[in-house]
A = this chain, B = another copy of it.
Amino acid sequence: MSDTEDEAAASRKRQADAPDADVGGIAVDRLRSIIERIERLEEERKALADDIKDIFSEAKSAGFDVKVVRQIIRIRKQEPAEVEEQETLLDLYRRALGM
């Protein structure tokens, strides 16, 4: 695989020349490592996103309104975080405006 070959080449280069070779002032290995780690994590993220999508499909097939299910999840996530202080202020302003 190309990945493996690249790694091997980079490894050889490291051992031969320097702890971290520079190309045009760029720490190549460091940059490559950063990018590849991010790409790996993004793949995992993508896989999870697909799993989630599958469950929403299942929900739809089971007759649930997907949009409302999303809303439920959003509410369950937000509600514990909701600060009472802000709620109070909001009420105050609303009352002031006759809403």
A residues with CB within 8 A of B:
2-3, 6-7, 10, 23-28, 30-32, 34-35, 37-39, 41-42, 44-45, 48-49, 51-52, 55-56, 58-59, 62, 64-65, 67-69, 71-73, 75-77, 86, 89-90, 92-99
Contact = CB atoms under 8 A, between A and B. Distances in A.
- Per DSSP, chain A at the interface is helix
Contacts of A76: 35, 39, 99
Given A32-B97, A34-B58, A42-B52, 19 more contacts: A3-B98, A6-B98, A23-B95, A24-B95, A27-B62, A31-B69, A34-B64, A37-B55, A38-B56, A38-B73, A42-B73, A45-B45, A45-B52, A48-B48, A65-B89, A68-B90, A68-B93, A72-B94, A75-B94
Nearest to A51: B41
A99 to B, nearest CB: 7
Contacts of A96: 6, 10, 23-24, 26, 28, 31
